[in-house]
Amino acid sequence: MVNLTIDDKQVTAPKSATIYEAAKINGIKIPILCHDKKLKPFGACRMCLVEVEQMKGRQIPACTTPVTDGMIIRTSTPDIIKARKMVLELLLLNHPIDCPVCDKGGDCDLQNLTYEYQVNANRFSDEKFHHEIDYSNPLIERDMNRCVLCGKCARICDEIVSFGALTFISRGIETKIGCEFEGSLNCEFCGSCVSVCPVGSLLARPFKFKARFWALTNQKSVCSYCGTGCNLTLGVKDNKVLTTVYDENQGFHNGQLCCRGRFGYQFINSDKRLTTPLVRKGGALMEASWDEALELVATRLRGAGASAAALATPRLTNEELLLFKKLMEAAGSANYDHSAGYAHAALTKGFARSFGATASPSTILDIQKSDLLLVIKTDSYETHPVIGFEINMAVKNKGAKLNILSDKRGKLSKLPDAKTFVHTPGSEIAVINSLAKAILDEKLAAGSAVSIPGYADLEKALAGFTPDAVAVQSGLSAAAIKQLASDYAKAEKALIIFPVGNAYPGHNADMASAVANLALLTGKLGTEGSGVLCMAEKNNSQGAVDMGFYATSGLQAGQIMDGCASGAIKTLFLAGENPVVSYPNRAVVTTALDKVEFLVVSDLFMTETAAMADVVLPACSFAEKEGTFTSVDRRVQHIKPAIRKVGQSRTDFEIFSTLIAKLGGQAPAAPAAVFGEIAASAPGYAGMSYAALGETGAFAPVDITPAFVVPKTVAVEPAAGKLALVIGSVLYHNGTLSQFGEGPMYVCPEGYVELSRGDAAKLNVAENDLLNVTSAAGSTKLKARISSRMPEGVLFSPYHFGAAEINRVWSGAPVTWVTVTK
C-alpha cells in the first residue's frame, strides 16, 4: 500500500493502482469515458486529467498513471475543469446532438458529463460525421457518428471475448471503429461492446426505442441458461423484462455476459407463454381451471407408487426440486430424475466414487489462478461462454498455458499458444488413461498418490493404455500424448475443465473418474488454481444433484422412458423437461410418451413434449419466482421475482405444494422455509440463509475423500464408409429454452450439420445444401455448414432445435455413425 494525498485528503491505495483507481477506492470521482475496470488502462479520452504536484503541476491522465508514495494530486482545480470542458467541446464538435432519438439518452456518459460541466455552447465549429449506420444486424446497431473513440468496444472484444470483431480503422481525423474490410458486424454477439459503449454508438436492437433508462426498474437476478451462474440485472417496465442492464460490479464476471445471457431474455415476456392450465378432453387440449387440472393430477398420483415417475429440468430452483422430490415421495414413488442421473453421471456417479462428493472440487475463480488449463472439448467455450472468457483472460493476461483435448477445434484453439490435440471421437477416456499411464511411466506422479486407495488396481488397469497403444485408436501421436502428460504433470498448478450435459453422452461417470485419476496421480487437487471443474449444463444442474433429485433407488431417466413404453410407468410428470427434443432417440421417446397412460407437463411453452400431454400446467419463468440456484462451482445464489406472474401461470413451487396438500401431506409455505430445510440437510449448505447469501451468493464447500477408480472404456469401432457424428451445444443456445429467446434465434435460427472442407469436397457438398443424415436409429434433413475446424470424417450437429430432429439420428451413443447424402 502507498500513501498519497488526493484533493487534500490523506488516502492509501494498493501499489499497483493507477491514480484513477486510487481515487475511486477512496470515494473520489474522476470523470472518464474510456475506462472499464475489466480492461487495461488505455488513456484515450483525456477526461480524467489531474494535476500532480511532483510532476510540476502538469495535467496528466489519471487512468494510466500509477500511484507512487507521497503523491499529491488535485482532481478538480479551475485549470483542470477548463481542460475537461474543452475536451467535451471537442468531442461535441462531431458528436450529433440527437439525444431525444438516441437510445442511450439518460444513460450516456457524454450526456452526463456535458450536463455536469455545463458545456452549453461550443467555441469551435466543424462538420458532423456522415458515416453510414449499420442497421444490418438484428442484435447490435452501430452508429459510428456518435462514437467518441474511447476504444472500449474494440478492447473488450479483444481482451476478454478474444474475438477481435471491432478495431480502429484509419488515422487522425479519419479514425473510426469498424469491422473487417469495413463490413458489417459478424461476431459471436455477446453484446459486450454494447454494454461498455459510453455513448449511443453501439445499441442493443432488441431494446431499441423500448424505454428510457430511468423508466426501468432494475432487479438483480441470476441467468437461467447455463451453469456458470452469471449475475444479471433485469430492466423491467410495465411488468415486462425489456433488457438486461450492464453492471460492471456484478458477479465474479464483472457484468460480462454471453449472447444468450444478454440477448436471450425475451422468452420471459413471449406471447407464446402458456397462461392457463390445459386438460385433454376428447383428444384435444382444452382450457381448464387450476382446480380441475391439479385435482386430475392428484387423483393419478394418489397411491400411484412405482407406477408414477417424474423428470425435472435442472432449471427449477433448489427449493422446487426438493418439493418435487417430496411430492413423488408422497405418491410413493422413487422414480425421479433430471439430466444429472442421466447425462450428468460424471457428477452423480463419477465424482461420487472418485472424490466422495458430487461436485467439482474447483471453482471458476481457479481458472485465472492456474498455470495450465487442460480443457476437454473445445465446446466448453460454447456451453459456458463466460467461463470461456475466464479462460481467455487466464491465457492472455495471466500467461496460463492452454492444452485442449477435443474431437474438433474451436474458439479456444485460436488463443495464443493454445495446443489442440484432436482425437478421434469416442476415444477421450482412452486418451486420458494413456495420459495417466505416461505420468506413471515417466515417474511424474506425486508421492502422495500411492497412499490413495485403489492405486495398485489402477496401475495394473492402465498397463494396456500405453501412449503407443492409444495413439493408434485415438489418432494422436504417442509423442503428443507424452507431451500432454508431462505438460500437465510438470505444471505447478493445473486445472482440468470439461463440460457435461444432455448432448455429451461420452462425458459420463467413467470420464469423470479418468479425469479425477489424473488430478489425484499428480496431486493437483485441493490447492488454489489446481483441480477439476466439471461444468454441468443448465443453470441449476449442480443444485439438482445437491438436492438429490436423481435416481438413487428408483429408475433413471432412460429407464423411466423404457418403463413408459412397457407400461410399467402409468403416470409421468415432466416439470419443464422437453425430452422429445433433448433426449437421444426421438422415436423411442415419442413412443414412450404416447404409450404412457397419463402425462403431465408443467412448462412455460407448448413444447413438442407438452403437446403430447394429458394435462399441461403453465409454469413461471425464473424472473417470476423466488429461490436459489447453484452454479457449476457450487455458488448458491438467491433470486427474487422481477415481474408479476404471466397470465394464470404458477410457480412450480406452488404447483408442487398444492399437489402435496392434495395428497394429504404438508408442504412448507414459502421457498424460504424450504431453504431452511436445505441448509439443514444438504451437504455443504449448512448454515446458509437467504440473508447471508446476499447479492454475491455463498460457496458450498466440497469435502473430498479421494479414491482411484478404474474407468471403463468402450472401444469405438470405426464403421467403414461412415462419418462420426458428435452432438453438442452451440454458443448461442442452451437446452431447448433458448429457442424461445429472440436474440439467440436471430443469430442461430436452425439446426445444421457441420463438416470439414475435405469431406464437403468428397461428398460434393456446398454450404447450405440440404443433406440427408442417416444412422441406424433414423434419418433427418439438415443444412450443411462447412468449416475448417472439423477434422475429416467427423460431423457436428447442435441438439437444441425441435425442428432439426437430430435426435432421430443420434442414439445416445458417444459417437453415432452416419451416412450423408444430398
Contacts with another protein, residue ranges (CB under 8 A): 99-101, 105, 133, 135, 208-212, 214-215
**Cα–Cα distance, 660 to 301 (Å, whole number):** 10
Phi, psi of 485 (to 5 degrees): -65, -45
384 closest CA partner among 38, 805, 753, 728: 728
Residues pairing with 53 in the sheet: none
Torsion 393-395-397-400 (CA) sign: positive
Length of the chain: 822
- Whole-number minimum distance, CB 153 to another protein, in Å? 20
Residue 207 or 796 with smaller CB distance to another protein: 207
- Residue 8's Cβ-count burial label (10 Å; 0-12, 13-18, 19+) is exposed
Residue placing its CB nearer to another protein in the complex, 97 or 803:
97
Of 123 and 130, which has the nearer Cβ to another protein?
A: 130
Minimum distance of another protein from residue 430's CB (angstroms): 56
SS3 821: strand
Least CB distance to another protein at residue 111 (A): 12
Number of Cα atoms under 13 Å in the Cβ half of residue 554: 28
Q: How far apart are CA 256 and CA 776, in angstroms?
A: 43
Q: Each residue of 187-199: b (16+ CB within 10 Å) or e? A: bbbbbbbbbbbbb
- Separation in Å, CA 555 to CA 330, 588, 744: 17, 17, 35
Nearer to another protein, 133 or 770 (CB): 133
What grid cell was written down for 371?
498455470
Rg over CA atoms, the chain: 28
Q: What are residue 698's DSSP bridge partners?
A: 636
Question: Shortest gap between Cβ of 134 and another protein (angstroms)?
Answer: 10
Smallest gap from Cβ 104 to another protein, in A, equals 12
CB 117, min distance to another protein, A: 20
> Is the Cβ of residue 101 or residue 720 nearer to another protein in the bound state?
101
Tell me how far the alpha carbon of residue 655 is from its chain's centroid.
28
Q: Which is nearer to another protein, 143 or 633 (CB)?
A: 143
CB of 191 to another protein, least distance (A): 19
Instruction: Read off φ and ψ for residue 600, nearest 5 degrees.
Output: -110, 130
Closer CB to another protein, 203 or 309, in the complex: 203
211 versus 334: smaller Cβ distance to another protein:
211
Comparing CB distances to another protein, the nearer of 128 and 822 is 128
Across the chain, how many H-helices and E-strands are there? 27, 33
> Please, what is the minimum distance in Å from the beta carbon of residue 212 to another protein?
4
Cβ distance to another protein smaller for residue 132 or 597: 132
Query: What are phi and psi for residue 207, nearest 5 degrees?
Result: -100, 0
Residue 258 in grid coordinates: 454471453
Running DSSP on this structure, what letter comes out for residue 439?
H
Do 179 and 173 meet the contact criterion of CB atoms below 8 Å apart?
no
**CB of residue 238 to another protein, shortest distance in Å:** 10
Q: How many CB atoms lie within 10 A of CB 99?
A: 16
Nearer to another protein, 106 or 164 (CB): 106
Own/partner pairs, 666-672, CB within 8 angstroms, 24+ separation? 667/323, 667/326, 668/323, 670/626, 671/317, 671/319, 671/320, 671/625, 671/626, 671/627, 671/628, 672/626
Q: How far is the CB of 198 from another protein (least distance, A)?
A: 20
The residue type found at 794 is V
CA-wise closest residue to 351 among 753, 634, 19: 634
Q: What is the DSSP string of 137-166?
A: -SSEEE-GGG-----HHHHHHHHTS-----
Q: How many CB atoms lie within 10 A of CB 532?
A: 26
Among candidates 535, 499, 532, which has minimal Cα distance to 516?
Answer: 532
Q: How far is the CB of 203 from another protein (least distance, A)?
A: 11
> What whole-number distance in Å separates Cα of residue 418 and Cα of residue 594?
48
Handedness of CA 504, 505, 509, 513 (dihedral sign): negative
Of 135 and 168, the one with the shorter C-beta distance to another protein is 135
Provide the 8-state DSSP code for 128.
P
